Structure 1
Amino acid sequence: MNGQVEGDRPAADFYLIPPHRATADTVLTWPVFADAYSQSTLVGAHFVRTEPDNSEWDPHTDEVFEVTGWLRQVNEERLSALVERFLQNVHTKNPVLDVELLLRDANRVASYGLDWRPASCLVLLAAALGVISKPFNPNTTNEDEDSTDVNRLREAETYFVLACRRLGGLKHSIQCAQCFFFAGAWQYFIQASNTFRLYMKTKYSLSFAGAQPSIEQIARQSKCVRRQEEAMYWSCFKSESEFRVELPLPQSELAYDHHLQMFPTPPSPAAGHNARDKIDIGEVSSGGVSDVPSTDNSHDSVCSVALSRLYTEEESWYYYLTEIALRRIGNRIINSFFHCEPRKWLNIQHYLGLAREYDTQLAAWSAHLPEAMKHWETASAIRQPDSLSAQGKGNAVSQELGWALANRLLEARSWLYQPFLYWLVHSPLVPRNSKTMHRPTCQRFVSDLTNSMTAEDAMALYQFIISGIECSYQILETRSLRHRHHGLWYDLRSSMCVSLVLMAIVKSGHTSWLPDGGQKLWQAQNLDRVRGSPYLQGDGSRGRLGRVMAEYGYWAKECPSLERQITVLKEVIDTSIAAAQNLES
């Protein structure tokens, strides 16, 4: 396995995946865009150092973490409240810490002040993330940034810089790995290159702290420490997978050092509950419910009073275990469809059988999620939870976990359907229907392909194309929220990817396949039906594509490299609409 060439098809398991294949950058290299863009057109902007027009600019300022302006004075008594906010808004997605110990350390810092031990470093990182995070609110789409957001960023930067000054003195331990992990979470949503470096340090520290232990060492380890090591391993697995989907990065040894446990061990449930019964989410492709770890009968006290006030620990772990399993399925999809060049997808019959299997798996997962993850549903728009759920104390946490899990399912589906949308764009077998707003019927589609494939395959292909378009619209709707979280950068990348895929459909002359002929994408005004152009009006500044560009513009205030995404998307919209208009004339 170690000697496998990454250019060849990766191993069939979920550890190894080809990098940077299912991304917006790759879509820009599709033939429909006529070699106008390179593989690094978008992602390259994140790794380019921009030098301001200032003769006093010091190139070394990019080599250290600094606070814009000055370090704020730290109020240690405020740290406990910020750590609680971190537990509620951030830790729920990666429950890798000993919460009781973290709360105790925060109280100690509040009483005795900061020192240079790992505990203080972790408290500072938790405080930084606590300041910058907010409870989930689905109605933040039109929210404008105000001065309080800037002040929060500056305060958070202070805690982060103070934590970074302590990172260099940490020895290899599980707490050291946790510090590097959450230092990476701080920058996750925009600073992709810095985040990867911090992630690699996390993995390096973890390899010393949590190397494969002997039987005697396992016996001596406390269950709490063992659970933290397992959780850190699988969180690193998730992070590396996320990085390699979007960035052209090498595979680390983590993919070859298979963990003995298929899942991290969740804490023991409260009396009268059985986590194994509630987590009815057995992974279809890897053995079912038997893969989900059983919990110990012993009672692990995790500051239950404080936790019950902040969030429901069971919900957090349901989400965490489900996301790990869905990441495996997603990696298998990437291995199955993206090990080759996209042009191989023109032989689409070869992929239909695999697509049916994965589509069935994802549908089964979606249908059998735990009740805790069903507070949130996605269709063509986000729906609010019912009024009874809305009265619960943990409503914002439950909403965010359900929303994030729905995004993970949409992401996996978008990878699954991308080859079929590529086929629609590039196959000469599909007639162009630019002059009508009506989608071709399944019967007509099957008839057009009579000489190329069986009717059964043609019907399946038709459904995958329709599902791919619907999935793309759902992603534009659900992943364009101005909600700061450690997966924000991936939300922006996903929105860009599906936007480009949809514009590829427009440019290739297949706009009729889109709902309402693409009107919802750019919200056409003054439709000219007389000249045969009932949909190709507007400049993309409105509608769902306009919303995507608005989101990029919003976050570009903090990450100027995102301006490149706006420029490219505007170019693609203009050229695609112009090409479609030429095809119909």
Structure 2
Amino acid sequence: MVDDQEPGGRPGKRPAARGTAFYPRKRANTACQVCRARKTKCDNRKPSCSYCLSVGATCIQSTTDLSSFDPASLKILERLDDLERLVKDQKESQDTVLPPIRPLEEPETCANRPEHERPNAEDFILGSVLPERVEQVVTWACFSDHNQAPHASTVPGAYSPSSVVGTPPVTGSTSLDDMDPARLNHLLDNFFTFVHCKNPILDEPLTRRLVRRAFLDDGIDWSAGSCLSLIIAALGCVSAPFGPTPDIAPGKPAYVDGQAFFQASQRRIGTLLATSDIVGAQCLFLSGVYCMTVFQPIFAWRYFAQALAACQHFPFLTRAQQQTHADADFSAEEMDMGSRDTHEQAVYWSAWKSEQELRSDLSLPDFGVSHSGSTLYPPFFPTPPGPQLSLSPGAVPEPHEQRARKAWLFYLAEISLRRLNSRLCSEILTLRSTYPSTITFLEVLCDMIPEYEAQAQEWAASLPEIFSVHDTDAADDDVCRSVLRCHLVNLFELIYWATTMACLNIPGEGQHHLSERTREMGRRGLEAHVNRLRSNEPGLAHRHHGTLFMIKCCSRSVLTLLAAHERGMQMPPRWGDAVYKGLGMLQYWAPEVPEVVPWKSTVEESLNKWVNAAY
């Protein structure tokens, strides 16, 4: 068994750094993390300070005497506090209540514009033209009676760090130096069947040999191969066939083993940050996948960002940069992407889209657009490994070749849909900026919607038979087809979102200002929300690295349907059943995901109000 304890440092205080005179000496900051973030005085009571005790927050107090830090380090800590406060302030400014219905612009502003650009008297504030985050939807005015100040632990992304990097270390049932071969094969099968199928960034035969050698032959050491092997084992523990996964929950043996393997991997991953090979990027990306699987989005984003940074030295990116400098008209789509670049392109693409999605969802700083979908994805498709995708007629592929073929077909299909979603987001935003009048914008958008619908249907029709969502039952889906089906529903939600918001923003008696086309598209939007909850039903209790996004999308649909009913809109058939399915999902995940608790309470109170009114 390899000793995992970190080597000790030299005793005594750190000597003052050069340039000490340039930094004023700061008193050591001993406040807990919560009080430091709030910039308030902390009384440092043990085990919890007074403020954390009053709000029920986890009080995390530093065990390190910061007075031994040199002035430059204290300055860095002070700057980090400022950045943390900036993130919090930015988030609070974005999570605003849906504005009331009122004229789009003040009269004196309109008077200064050309007559053809002035909004009509019936114009109104539309709100968002792209789907909002559920954290914003729950603050809509129709839910104002249910909104309460969020518990400190329910702030988006505010999960306890101990659940990932637990202290003391978690001890699983499987020792690192005593792995049973049958157990290892089971973990590898789980990983390649249920995790790798969505992001094929590894060569399966080579990786299986590497993991077996690490666990069964050479033993776990501090190498990159051992780090990757441990992460794969961790993901194998927390992965299972599509469907409810109650056996993978905190405290269950599989979950505990996964945490033990993951923590062991993280004691080795630091050395990979200084390497320049692909293994470091793969380890970082898969660490982010694990963190998403156990609902730790902040940690996941950090890993995805580091993985993306580790990809920047890859040869195919270097070639693209060189050709761009040599030819201003060069496009990456024209670049010759060889099969040797396959896994480099795959890990780059996976890290890129994962970092983008999470950075937008968590409202992290330095993100230049308001919606992840409005950022165009890289212009090239990863190059699939040729032999796995072009089998000769009559040939019987090996199981790993079948998995690789299916994984890459899914991967390319998902990438193409993401790019379509991204492009439609940009077009809708451009339409909105082109037509300041809300009524005019809605009419132009309704002209465009049939084309958008046709593009979505064209993508669905192009899917391989194994992933076809036409004339198939969602109950028969595996995880890959379920993901594609639900992504398609997301696209339709995007297409109809602005018209649905228009109907929500105008009370029933005022909707004569909207055209019949706008009202029809608004109703189609509600149907998309019902369809989302039905399509996701087989996976509402399934744990995988996309579960958190699924929970948020379904919660948004539940709240939107309840808001539409409150507004007196014409509701689609069986919408109530769909809402109760969503409530069941929230009840299932609430014990593990604190962020879900206020959404569940809002849904329950809205349903109680609806039921009471019916009687």
| Contact persistence 1:95–1:320 (CA under 8 A) | yes
Q: Percent identity?
A: 23
TM-score by length of 2: 0.65
Instruction: Name the counterpart of 1:319.
Output: 410
Task: Answer yes or no: is the 8 Å Cα contact 2:276–2:313 preserved in 1.
Answer: yes
Partner of 1:485: 544
Once the two structures are superposed, the pairs formed by residues 55-94 of structure 1 within 5 Å of their partners are 61=162, 64-66=165-167, 70-72=171-173, 73-74=175-176, 75-76=178-179, 77=181, 78-94=183-199
**Residues 79-132 of structure 1 deviation map (CA, whole Å, 9 limit, x = unaligned):** 344123201111010001122321120121121211111111111111111111
Write the deviation string for residues 220-261 of structure 1: whole angstroms up to 9, x where unpaired: x99555111111221123213422453313456999999986
Are the equivalent residues in 2 in contact too, given 1:476–1:544 (CA < 8 A)? yes
Give the direction of change, closer, same or farther, for the CA distance of 1:322–1:215 in structure 2 (3 Å limit). closer
Query: For 1:480-523, what per-residue CA distance to the aligned partner results, in whole angstroms no more than 9, with x for missing partners?
Result: 4221111100110011001111011011122x43326x5xx1xx
Structure 1 residue corresponding to 2:476, chosen from 384, 387, 397? 384
| Partner residue of 1:266 out of 384, 387, 390 | 384
Deviation by residue 1:531-553 (Cα, 9 ceiling, x = unmatched): xxxxxxxxxxxx43333232223
Matching of residue 424 in structure 1 with residue 503 in structure 2: yes
Does 1:499 pair with 2:603? no
Report the equivalent of 1:181: 285
Letter in 2 for 1:203: L
**Which 10-residue stretch deviates more, 80-89 or 361-370?**
80-89
Q: Residue by residue, what CA displacement relative to the aligned partner does 1:418-461 show, whole Å, maximum 9, x if unpaired?
A: 21111111235x548xxxxxxxxxxxxxxx85x765xxxx34x3
Instruction: Report what 1:394 is aligned to.
Output: none
**Which consecutive unaligned segments of at least 5 residues does structure 2 have?**
1-92, 94-127, 324-335
Q: What letter is aligned with 1:175?
A: V
1:88/1:312 CA distance change after superposition, 3 Å: same
Q: Distance in 1 between matches of 2:150 and 2:344?
A: 35
Q: How does 1:33-432 map to 2 (within 5 A)?
A: 33=143, 45-48=155-158, 61=162, 64-66=165-167, 70-72=171-173, 73-74=175-176, 75-76=178-179, 77=181, 78-109=183-214, 110-137=216-243, 140=244, 150-170=252-272, 171-189=275-293, 190-209=295-314, 212-214=317-319, 225-250=340-365, 262-270=380-388, 273=391, 305-308=398-401, 311-337=402-428, 347-374=441-468, 382-384=474-476, 399-428=478-507, 430-431=508-509
User: Residue in 1 aligned with 2:525?
Assistant: 468
1: CA distance between counterparts of 2:144 and 2:357? 29
Change (3 A) 1:68 1:491: farther
Mapped to 1, the partners of 2:241 and 2:168 lie a distance apart of 25
Cα distance in structure 1, aligned partners of 2:390 and 2:165: 51
One-letter code of the match for 1:560? P
Residues 38 and 172 of structure 1, relative CA distance in 2, 3 Å threshold: farther
Q: 1:576 to 1:238 in 2, by over 3 A?
A: farther
Distance change in 2, residues 1:116/1:420 (3 Å): same
| C-alpha RMSD over aligned residues | 4.2
Residues 572 and 244 from structure 1, CA distance in 2 versus in 1: closer, same or farther, beyond 3 angstroms?
farther
Task: Read off the aligned partner of 1:407 and give its amino acid letter.
Answer: C
- Give the distance between the partners of 2:560 and 2:231, measured in 1 at CA: 38
Tell me if the contact between 2:284 and 2:307 (Cα under 8 Å) persists in the aligned partners: yes
* Counterparts in 2 of 1:126 and 1:361: CA distance versus 1, 3 Å: same
Q: Which runs of 5+ in 1 are unaligned?
A: 1-6, 8-17, 51-59, 276-302, 386-398, 433-447, 522-542
Residues matched between the structures, number: 460
**1:183 match: secondary structure:** helix
Contact 1:29 1:37 in 2 (8 A): yes
Determine the structure 1 residue equivalent to 2:36: none
Indicate the residue corresponding to 1:550 in structure 2: 584
Q: Partner letter of residue 227 of structure 1?
A: T
Cα distance in 2, alignment partners of residues 257 and 227 from structure 1 = 24
Contact conserved, 2:230 with 2:265, CA < 8 A, in 1? yes
CA distance in 2, matches of 1:70, 1:19: 49
Contact 1:185–1:195 (Cα < 8 Å) also in 2: yes
Tell whether the 8 Å contact from 1:345 to 1:420 is kept in structure 2 after alignment: no
